[in-house]
Chain A
Amino acid sequence: EVQLVESGGGLVRPGGSLILSCAASGFTFSGSPMHWVRQASGKGLEWVGRIKSRTDYYATGYAASVKGRFTISRDDSKNTAYLQMIGLKIEDTAIYFCTRQPPGTGTADYWGQGTLVTVSS
């Protein structure tokens, strides 16, 4: 059974930093691109970014709203993806989901339950 479990969310001050983790199981993690998607309370889904697999040189891509502040990485030996966030803004407050992209598709088939990040003074 595929499972994605996010952790690391919490309350942080504006300008602060946080690292989210996404622990994966039930599939070949090393072969799957991984994405982060966020959702502010009562709002829609917003794509944050992705990291490709080793065969694609772990290439990363980010939404314009987070580029330069957020960094996605992965540790295939630990089946874990990470989202490092610095320079956090109030508007970054959201539930952050990690998702798996099956190789060869343009979709996210499995989602974690999400972790809440609150940026507030």
Chain B
Amino acid sequence: QSALTQPASVSGSPGQSITISCTGTSSDVGGYNYVSWYQQHPGKAPKLMIYDVTDRPSGVSSRFSGSKSGNTASLTISGLQAEDEADYYCSSYTSTSTWVFGGGTKLTVL
């Protein structure tokens, strides 16, 4: 199972919006509504930000939203804040009953 494709880095200024893409295939992202997004700060465990494509866990800011079109899922962060600077990973359930992660995207808040 190949890793999902994410951009290596994205950046934005405080207050702006950014979108991180996550491209897979019809055997993972495109085939199931089980895409998740995780935020990871250096030296910390990942934190769930979005699950099942669009759902937000309790306690996660509404500035974070998820969507999917075909084989590509997206994470949008609006009103960028300094504390949003982190690595972001997508993951998906797959047709072989396994999970697969994206390579990760480093978000820099300018």
Contacts and interface: CB of A to CB of B under 8 A. Distances in A.
B109 interface: no
A44 B46 CA distance: 11
A45 B91 CA distance: 9
A75 interface: no
Interface stretch (B12-20, B32-40, B76-84): B32-40
Contacts of B102: 44
A65 to B, nearest CB: 10
B64 interface: no
Chain B contact patch, size range: 20 to 34
B45 interface: yes
A107 B48 contact: yes
B1 interface: yes
Interface string A77-94: 000000000000000000
Contacts of A37: 46, 101
Given A44-B103, A113-B45, A61 B93 contact: no
A50 to B, nearest CB: 7
B99 A109 contact: no
B46 A106 contact: no
Contacts of A47: 91, 98-101
A64 B89 CA distance: 20
A106 B50 CA distance: 11
Contact of B99 (A35, A64, A113): A35
Nearest to A62: B98
A46 B104 CA distance: 11
B46 A61 contact: no
B98 A106 contact: no
Nearest to A52: B97
Given A63-B98, A106-B99, 12 more contacts: A44-B3, A47-B91, A61-B98, A62-B98, A63-B1, A107-B51, A107-B52, A108-B36, A108-B48, A109-B48, A113-B45, A114-B45
Q: Which 7 residue pairs are nearest across A and B when measured between Cβ atoms?
A: A106-B34, A107-B51, A44-B104, A111-B45, A107-B36, A47-B99, A106-B93
15 contacts: A44-B104, A45-B38, A45-B40, A45-B91, A45-B104, A47-B99, A62-B98, A63-B1, A106-B51, A106-B99, A107-B34, A107-B36, A107-B48, A108-B38, A109-B48
